[in-house]
Amino acid sequence: MARGDQPPDLVVAGAYVFSAFTKEWIETDVAVADGRIAGLGQFDGGERIDASGLYLAPGFIDAHMHIESSKLMVDEFVRAVLPHGTTAVVTDPHEIANVLGTDGIHWLLDVCEGLPVEIFVMASSCVPASDFESPRRALTTGDMESILRRSHALGVAEMMNYPGVIAGDEAQLDKLEVKGATHIDGHAPGVRGRALDAYLAAGIRSDHESTTYEEALEKRRKGMWVLIREASNARNLEALVPLVKNFGPDFCAFCTDDREPDFLVREGHINQMARAAVQQGLSAEDAILLSSLHPALYHGLEDSGAIAPGFKADFLLLEGLESFRPLSVFKAGRLVAEGGRALPFPAADVPLWVRHSVRLPSVSPESFTISVSKPRMRVIEIIPGQLLTNCVVRRPHGNGGRALADPENDLAKIAVIERHHATGRIGLGFVEGFGLKRGAFASTVAHDAHNVVVVGMNDHDMALCALRLQAMGGGIVVVADNQVLAELPLAVAGLLSEEPFETVVEKLDAAHLALASLGVEIESPFMTLSFLALSVIPKLKITDRGLVDVDEFALVPLELD
C-alpha cells in the first residue's frame, strides 16, 4: 500500500499536514493502512475524506498523569478526553495501588484494553510515597516487575522518595533497577545543586515538579526532560513556557499530572496546554511537538507522535491553530470522536471487590480533640495554585487546654484518618488558606495513601463527614450544622465514580458551590485538600501519623515552645 500497488484503507485528502521533524505544514494527502500511516502524497482508492483547508496534526499524548485524579472510571475518562484530541496517555496508577495493591493495578490495566485512547503504564515506585504514609500495603520490587510484564508497561513511575534516593537508601535504589523497565520518571520538587546531581546520578531522567523557570532550566541543563505540568491546582505552564521560547522545545513535553473532571470537560486536556502556550507566545508548531512527538520520544514510543510512514495513524483535524479544539479525532485510522463528542464504545465492568475499601474505626467528635500546653504551634499554609505549602507558626486559639479552630483568622482543623485497616490512627493539626467560615469537608482522595482527610471549623461536622464517607464507600462530602450539603460518591476504591462524566461534573460543581457558601474561595479546593496529605512535597504536610516536615523528612510535633 505504501508503494501504491494496492489501495489504502483511508485517504485524508488536501489537509495541511504537520511534519514533526521539520516543523512544516505540507499540503498533501495522507494514506492509512492497517491502522498506520502508509504514506504521504497522491493515493488512489480507499475511503476518502476531504480535509481541504484543515490542519492535520498527530494525536496528543499526556507524558505523565494519574487517571484516578479525574475521579472517573477509565472508560468515562476516555470519553471525556478523546474529543480534545488525546489519543494516548502515560499513567502512573499509584493511587489505586495504595488502596487495592497490585490486584487493583492489574484490574485497571485489564479494563484499559481495547479503549480508543491508548493507556501506557509506569510501574509505581513509591507505594507508600514515604514511610510517613499508610497505604493498604506496600508495593515491592516483585510487584513492580509483575506490572512491567504487562503489555503497554514502560518503566519505573515517578520516584517520589527523592530524599531516600539522594541519601543512597538501598531500598529506593533497588526500585530503580527492576527488571523490564526502560526508563525512570522523576519527582524532585525544588531539588537543585548537588542534591539534583545525586538524584540524576541514580539514573532518573525526567521531572514534572518544577515551579520556576530557574529550577526547570537547571534540570534541563543537566540532561533532564522537563515535563511541563498544568494540573488542577499545580499550574506551572506560564512560568515554564519561557524555557521553550528561549531554548527551543527539545527535552520538554506537556503533562497534566492531576486534573479534575470539571477542568477536563470545560477547558480540555493536552489541547488546553497547547492553546494556553500559544496564547503566551509559543509557536503552534512547538506546542504541537510538546503535545505529541516529544512525549513519545521521552517514553520510547518510537511509532507514535508524528504523521509519517509506519507511524500509528493517530491524528486529529483542526480548523485553525489557536483553539486546538479538534473537528474530528482518529485512532489507528478509525474515526473515534467528532463534533466534540466521542463515538460510542463499550463501558467497563466494575467488580464488587473494588467497592468496599473504606474501613474506619469508631469516629466521634471527640476524635478531633487537640490538646495543647505550649504557646505556639506549626500550621500548614496553603500556597494558591501550587502543591507546595509553607510552615507558619501561630498561637493556638483555645479553651481549657484544647486548641480550637478560628474562622476569624482562617485557621481550620485538619485530620487524616487511616482507612485501610481501621487502625484508629488519626493525625491532627491546623491549616490556613481555605477561607472556611463554618462547617467541614472531607475526601477519601488524599494523595498518595488515600486515607480520609477532613478539614473543619467544628468537631461535630468533621465527625459527620467521616461517617458519611464510610457509608458511601468513599468520595467527597460537604457538611454544615450537622447536615450534608453536597456529596460525590466515589465507590470504586474511594477514588472513582461509576457515573457518566457529566453527572460527576454536576455533583462536583454542587460541592464547590456548597464550599463557597461556607467561605471557601480558592480554586480546586478538593484537589488542594487531597495534596495536604502528600509527604513528599515541601514544606509541611500531614498524614495519619502526624505532621511531616518534608524538608527535614521527619515527623514533627504540632506544638512549639
Q: Strand pairing partners for 225?
A: 206
CA distances from 93 to 101, 123, 156, 304, 558 (A): 10, 8, 11, 22, 32
Measured distance CA(530)–CA(380) in Å, rounded: 13
Phi-psi region of 462 (alpha: psi -120 to 50; beta: other; left: phi over 0): alpha
For cell 502524497, what's the residue? 41
CA distances from 240 to 245, 276, 321, 525 (A): 9, 12, 21, 24
For the record, the C-alpha cell of 91 comes out as 499513567
Per the CB < 8 A criterion, the answer to whether 255 and 215 are in contact is no
Measured distance CA(2)–CA(529) in Å, rounded: 53
pLDDT at residue 273 in the model: 98
Phi-psi region of 87 (alpha: psi -120 to 50; beta: other; left: phi over 0): alpha
Helix (H, G, I), strand (E, B) or coil at 266: helix
The one-character DSSP state at 352 is G
Helices (H) and strands (E) in the chain, counts: 15, 31
Residue 354: CB partners within 8 Å, gap ≥ 6? 100, 104, 107, 492, 493
> What is the full per-residue pLDDT of the chain (561 aa) written as tens digits?
999 899 999 999 999 999 999 999 999 999 999 999 999 999 999 999 999 999 999 999 999 999 999 999 999 999 999 999 999 999 999 999 999 999 999 999 999 999 999 999 999 999 999 999 999 999 999 999 999 999 999 999 999 999 999 999 999 999 999 999 999 999 999 999 999 999 999 999 999 999 999 999 999 999 999 999 999 988 999 999 999 999 999 999 999 999 999 999 999 999 999 999 999 999 999 999 999 999 999 999 999 999 999 999 999 999 999 999 999 999 999 999 999 999 999 988 899 899 889 999 999 999 999 999 998 999 999 999 889 999 999 998 887 789 999 999 999 999 999 999 999 999 999 999 999 999 999 999 999 999 999 999 999 999 999 999 999 999 999 999 999 999 999 999 999 999 999 999 999 999 999 999 999 989 999 999 999 999 999 999 999 999 999 999 999 999 998
CA torsion sign, 206 to 212 to 218 to 220? positive
Residue 122: CB partners within 8 Å, gap ≥ 6? 90, 91, 92, 153, 154, 155, 156, 157, 158, 185
Phi-psi region of 220 (alpha: psi -120 to 50; beta: other; left: phi over 0): alpha
Homologous superfamily of the 60-301 domain (CATH): Metal-dependent hydrolases (3.20.20.140)
What are the b/e assignments for 61-89, b being 16+ CB within 10 Å?
bbbbbbbbbbbbbbbbbbbbbbbbbbbbb
pLDDT at residue 124 in the model: 96
Residue ranges of the domains in the chain?
Answer: 60-301, 354-560
pLDDT at residue 457 in the model: 97
What are the b/e assignments for 212-236, b being 16+ CB within 10 Å?
eeebbbbbbeeebbbbbbbbbbbbb
pLDDT at residue 353 in the model: 92
For cell 491524528, what's the residue? 315
The reported pTM is 0.95
pLDDT at residue 370 in the model: 96
Which pairing describes strands 184-186 and 206-207: parallel, antiparallel, or unpaired? Answer: unpaired
pLDDT at residue 237 in the model: 97
Which pairing describes strands 376-382 and 426-432: parallel, antiparallel, or unpaired? Answer: parallel
